[in-house]
Amino acid sequence: MSAGTIMKVGRRGFLKTGAAGAAGLFVGFYLPGRMEALAASPAGAAPASLNAWMLISPDDTVKIMIDKSEMGQGILTALCMIAAEELDCDWKKIRTEFAPAAKEYFNPAFGMQGTGGSSSVRSSWDPLRKAGAAARDMLLQAAAKKWGVEKSACRAENGVIFHDATKRKLTYGSVAQAASMLPVPQDVPLKDPKQYRIIGNPTKRLDTPDKVNGRAEFGLDVRRPGMLYAVVQRCPVFGGKVASFDAAKAKAVPGVKTVIEIPQGIAVVADNTWTAMQGRRALDVKWDEGPNATLTSESISKLFAERTMQPGAEARKEGDTAAALSGASRKLEAVYEAPYLAHATMEPLNCTADVRADRVDVWAPTQFQTVAQATSAKICGLQPEAAFIHTTYLGGGFGRKAGVDFVSEAVEISKAIGAPVKLTWSREDDTQHDFYRPASYARMSGALGANGYPVAWTTRIACPSIMEAWFPGSTKNNLDPTSVEGVANLPYSIPNILVDYVRTEPGIPVGFWRSVGSSQNGFFSECFMDELATAAKKDPYEFRRHLLDKAPRHLAVLDLAAKKARWDSPLPAGHYRGIAVLFAFESYAAQVIEISVDRKAKTLKVHHVVCAVDVGQVVNPSTIVAQSESAVVYGLSSALYGNITIDGGRVKETSFNNYPVLRLDAMPIVEVHIVPSTEKPTGAGELSVPPVVPALCNAIFAATGKRIRRMPIRPEDLA
C-alpha cells in the first residue's frame, strides 16, 4: 500500500494510512505526533487499527482508545472490559490511550464527544461490544485465510486463534495487519451474557499502578518545551469586566514575563507558576462590576420565593391536585431550599495550550473534547480539525470540567504571547469562578386521604436553568428537565400530582454538578415524603413500600437497603436512621443512614450508610461499589458543609477552610449492595449522591423530631 492511501472500508473510511516499510502498515488517523512516532518505529512494529478503538501490535499488545474522560469513575477500565469481552483478547496485554477529539468518538447521548450524565457505559456498551466482535471476526478470518481453512473451524481465546483440528495457533498480533485490510463485517453476533468472562467480574482498575507512584499525567502535570506559566485575575463579580489596570508592579516581579488583558481578565505570564501568582498579587485592577454587584444569597432566595407565588411550566400533571387538596382532611405544606455548590475537584482547573499559525494544541483535563476543540479553533480563527485536544487524566471532574472556560483562557494567552503556556487556577480561583450547582427553592404540598396515604402532591420549583445556560434554546416552554428531575419522576402511586417550574435567573453561573437536579430535588421530594409518612403515623419504609406498587425496581432497591440495614431490628441506644429511594440516570438507588446526634453540642455523627443500587447489567462490580462510596462522601459533604454564599455579586468562600468537604475522620462505614440484573447497563457514577441528603435528614428527624428543609445542615438544626 502506498503512503497516504485512504482506506475505504466500514468505519475506517476516513482513516489515512501509509506505508512504513514493506511489512508495516500503520494507521495514524488519531494523534498528531503519533504519525511521526509511528513513522519512526521499526518496520513491522507498528500497530494495526481494527476500528476507531482497537489497535493491535505485532507484539500482541492491544491498545484501546479511551474516548471518555477518566476522572476517577473507573471508565477507562470499564471500556477496556467491554471491548476485551467481545474481542477475546488477553487482558494483561491491554494498553490504553486517551482518544483525540473526533466525530468517531461522539457520545450518542450528547451528539458530541463528552463525558457526563453517567452516560459512559450506557453509550459505549453497544458500539464497543460490536467493534470488539467485528474485530475478533476479522482476526479469525485473517487466520483462517492464512491457514487455508474455514473460519468456522477456528476459535479465538485470550488473544490466540486456534485451529483445533490441526492443533495450530496464531496470536492476534501476528494476523492483525492482515485483519486490518479486511472489510469490517456487519452484525457479528454478540455473546450471550452467560458467556461473559470479564464483564460482571470485579476487576482491578488499569490506572491504579500509575496512580501510586506519581506517574499518571493530570492536566496540571503537562510540560511542553519552552512553556511559560500563567494565572489570570478575573473580575470577582459575575458578569463584571476590567475597567482599567496597572501592571507596572506585577511586571517588576522578577520572573514575570508579561501581563496582558484577555477577554476573561488580566493574565500574568511568568517562568514558573509561583512567580505568576506573585505577579498577580501585585496587579492593580479596577473593575466594572456590572449589574450583579448587589446580589446576595438573601436577595436570590427572596427572588425565588416571590417567583414561586406564580404558576410555572408544568413538568408533570396528573389528576386534579387543587380539588384533591381542598377536599383532603390532612394537608401539609413546606418550603425547601438548597444553596449554590462548588464542585471543588482536587485538581484545580488548568490547561496547557500551544497556538501556532496553522494549528492549536491543547492539553487539558476536559470532559467535553469536541467543545474544547471548537472553542480553541474559533479563538485562533482555525478550522476545528486544526485544533488538537490531548485529554489527560482528570483530577476529579464531577461536571465542572465540562466547562471550557479554562481552555479558552489558555488558548487566548498562548495566542497573545506566541508561546506554549500552562494556565493554572488557584484553589481560590476554582472556588470563586465555578459553574455552580444551582440554588433552588421548592414549595411543596401534600394531602392524605382517609386511608392515610397521599391523595395529592405538588411541587413548585424556582431555580436557574442549566440547559439554557449551556445550550441556549435547548429547552421547550421554559421547562428545563434538569431543574425538576428527582421530583417530576416521583415513583409513588399518588392519584393527583403537579410539578411545575419557574425558571429564575439571578445571574450566577450554573452548571452540571454530580447528579445535577436530583442532587437538590431528591432532598426535597424524599424528605417531604417522610413528612407525609410522619403525618400518616406510618413507618417511613413501609409507607414508601405501599406506594411503590407500580415501581418494582424502586421497590427492590428499597427492600434490599432496608433488609441489609436490618430496618426492623432495634438500633444501639442513641442511634437513629433514615431512608430514601430515588431514580436517577436510568438507575435506582436506596439508602439507609444511621446516625447519632449530640443535641447539647449540636453535632452529628454518621455511623453507617447502607446503599442498594440497581444499575442494570454491571460491568465492573468493584467500580459500582467504589462509585457508591464516593457518591456517599460527595452527598455528605454537601449536607454537612456545602454552601456557596453570594455577597456583592461574588462568592464569599475561597478554599477548604470555608468550603469544607468530608475528611477521613468523619467517614462512616459504607456498604454497597448491587441488585443482580441483566437489564441494559445504566448510570452509576452519580446515582448514589441524591439519596444521601434525604436519608440523612430523615435520620436527624428520627433523632430530634426536627425537620431540616434547608441545606446545609446547621448546628441549630441539631439542637
Partner 1 sequence: MAIQFTLNGKPQTVDVNPNMPLLWVLRDTLGMTGTKLGCGISLCGACTVHIDGDATRSCVTPVSSVAGKKITTIEGLSTDRSHPVQRAWIEVDVPQCGYCQSGQIMTTAALLAKNAQPNDAEIDDALKGNICRCGTYQRIREAVHLAAKLAGAPAKKSARLDREEPVEQALAAEAMQVGGTL
Beta carbon nearer to partner 1, 241 or 427: 427
Binding of residue 85 to partner 1 (CB under 8 A):
no
Considering only 123-131, 217-225, 468-476, 521-529, which stretch makes contact with partner 1 by CB under 8 A? 217-225
Phi, psi for residue 616 in degrees, rounded to 5: 70, -150
* One-letter amino acid for residue 168 of the chain: R
The least distance separating partner 1 from the CB of residue 62, rounded to whole angstroms, comes to 11
Beta carbon nearer to partner 1, 70 or 361: 70
Residues 271-300 within binding reach of partner 1 (CB under 8 A): 272-275
C-alpha cell at 500: 411545575
Residues 163-202 within binding reach of partner 1 (CB under 8 A): 198, 201-202
Location of C-alpha cell 462548588: 342
Residues 33-72 within binding reach of partner 1 (CB under 8 A): 70-72
In whole angstroms, what separates CA 522 from the centre of its chain? 18
The least distance separating partner 1 from the CB of residue 133, rounded to whole angstroms, comes to 21
Binding of residue 211 to partner 1 (CB under 8 A):
yes
The least distance separating partner 1 from the CB of residue 574, rounded to whole angstroms, comes to 17
Q: Which of 325, 323, 318, 320 is nearest to 489 (CA)?
A: 318
Binding of residue 691 to partner 1 (CB under 8 A):
no
- Given the DSSP bridges, would you call strands 94-98 and 62-66 parallel, antiparallel or unpaired? parallel
Binding of residue 229 to partner 1 (CB under 8 A):
yes
Binding of residue 590 to partner 1 (CB under 8 A):
no
The least distance separating partner 1 from the CB of residue 655, rounded to whole angstroms, comes to 5
The least distance separating partner 1 from the CB of residue 369, rounded to whole angstroms, comes to 18
The DSSP-derived string for 692-716 is HHHHHHHHHHHHHS----BSS--GG
The least distance separating partner 1 from the CB of residue 48, rounded to whole angstroms, comes to 20
Beta carbon nearer to partner 1, 227 or 293: 227
Beta carbon nearer to partner 1, 240 or 420: 420
Q: Is the distance from CB of 418 to CB of 132 less than 8 angstroms?
A: no
Beta carbon nearer to partner 1, 225 or 705: 225
Q: Is the distance from CB of 76 to CB of 191 less than 8 angstroms?
A: no
- Given the DSSP bridges, would you call strands 265-270 and 330-338 parallel, antiparallel or unpaired? unpaired
Give the C-alpha separation, 465 to 511, whole Å: 9
Beta carbon nearer to partner 1, 16 or 427: 427
* One-letter amino acid for residue 186 of the chain: Q
Out of 41, 158, 426, 704, the residue judged to bind partner 1 by CB under 8 A: 426
Q: How many chain residues touch partner 1 (CB under 8 A)? A: 79
Q: Which of 335, 502, 506 is nearest to 436 (CA)?
A: 506
Residues 665-684 within binding reach of partner 1 (CB under 8 A): 665, 667, 669-673
- What is the per-residue binding string for partner 1 in 483-522, x denoting contact by CB under 8 A? ----------------------------------------
C-alpha cell at 665: 475522620
Other C-beta atoms within 10 Å of 384: how many?
A: 16
Beta carbon nearer to partner 1, 197 or 317: 197
Angle of helix 120-147 versus helix 172-180 axis, rounded to 10: 100
The least distance separating partner 1 from the CB of residue 155, rounded to whole angstroms, comes to 22
Other C-beta atoms within 10 Å of 521: how many?
A: 31
Binding of residue 632 to partner 1 (CB under 8 A):
yes
Beta carbon nearer to partner 1, 216 or 303: 216
Considering only 218-226, 310-318, 327-335, 402-410, which stretch makes contact with partner 1 by CB under 8 A? 218-226
Phi, psi for residue 639 in degrees, rounded to 5: -70, -40
* One-letter amino acid for residue 588 of the chain: Y
Binding of residue 398 to partner 1 (CB under 8 A):
yes
Beta carbon nearer to partner 1, 231 or 442: 231
Out of 34, 621, 652, 706, the residue judged to bind partner 1 by CB under 8 A: 621
- What is the per-residue binding string for partner 1 in 327-366, x denoting contact by CB under 8 A? -----------------xxxxx------------------
Binding of residue 221 to partner 1 (CB under 8 A):
yes
The least distance separating partner 1 from the CB of residue 456, rounded to whole angstroms, comes to 38
Out of 207, 409, 412, 480, the residue judged to bind partner 1 by CB under 8 A: 207
Binding of residue 559 to partner 1 (CB under 8 A):
no
Give the C-alpha separation, 465 to 508, whole Å: 11
Burial 489-511 (b: 16+ CB within 10 A, else e): bbbbebebbbbbbbbbebbbbbb
Considering only 10-18, 268-276, 333-341, 579-587, which stretch makes contact with partner 1 by CB under 8 A? 268-276
Give the C-alpha separation, 150 to 31, whole Å: 37
The least distance separating partner 1 from the CB of residue 139, rounded to whole angstroms, comes to 21
Give the C-alpha separation, 132 to 84, whole Å: 7
Beta carbon nearer to partner 1, 129 or 205: 205
Q: Given strand 421-424, what is the order of strands in its sheet?
A: 256-262, 265-270, 228-233, 421-424, 350-355, 360-364, 387-391
Binding of residue 223 to partner 1 (CB under 8 A):
yes
Binding of residue 566 to partner 1 (CB under 8 A):
no
The least distance separating partner 1 from the CB of residue 257, rounded to whole angstroms, comes to 14
The DSSP output letter for 272 is S
Binding of residue 657 to partner 1 (CB under 8 A):
yes
Give the C-alpha separation, 718 to 701, whole Å: 9
Location of C-alpha cell 479469525: 140
Considering only 17-25, 183-191, 524-532, 630-638, which stretch makes contact with partner 1 by CB under 8 A? 630-638
Binding of residue 656 to partner 1 (CB under 8 A):
yes
Sign of the C-alpha dihedral computed for residues 272, 277, 282 and 288 taken in this order = positive
The least distance separating partner 1 from the CB of residue 344, rounded to whole angstroms, comes to 6
The least distance separating partner 1 from the CB of residue 689, rounded to whole angstroms, comes to 10
C-alpha cell at 278: 506573585
Which H/E stretch holds residue 17? strand 17-19
The least distance separating partner 1 from the CB of residue 192, rounded to whole angstroms, comes to 20
Binding of residue 209 to partner 1 (CB under 8 A):
yes
Binding of residue 664 to partner 1 (CB under 8 A):
yes
Give the C-alpha separation, 463 to 506, whole Å: 9
Angle of helix 120-147 versus helix 75-87 axis, rounded to 10: 30
Considering only 288-296, 313-321, 420-428, 472-480, which stretch makes contact with partner 1 by CB under 8 A? 420-428
- Given the DSSP bridges, would you call strands 313-318 and 496-503 parallel, antiparallel or unpaired? antiparallel
Binding of residue 240 to partner 1 (CB under 8 A):
no
Phi, psi for residue 6 in degrees, rounded to 5: -100, 125
Out of 424, 440, 459, 698, the residue judged to bind partner 1 by CB under 8 A: 424
Location of C-alpha cell 460490536: 130
Binding of residue 603 to partner 1 (CB under 8 A):
no
Angstrom distances, CA of residue 667 to CA of 561, 624, 633, 636, 715: 19, 18, 8, 9, 19
Binding of residue 131 to partner 1 (CB under 8 A):
no
Considering only 130-138, 209-217, 285-293, 530-538, which stretch makes contact with partner 1 by CB under 8 A? 209-217
Binding of residue 204 to partner 1 (CB under 8 A):
yes
Q: How big, in percent rounded to 5, are the helix, strand and coil portions of the chain?
A: 35, 25, 40
Query: How many residues are recorded in the chain?
Result: 719
Strands (E) across 339-439 are located at 350-355, 360-364, 387-391, 421-424
Binding of residue 662 to partner 1 (CB under 8 A):
yes
Binding of residue 302 to partner 1 (CB under 8 A):
no
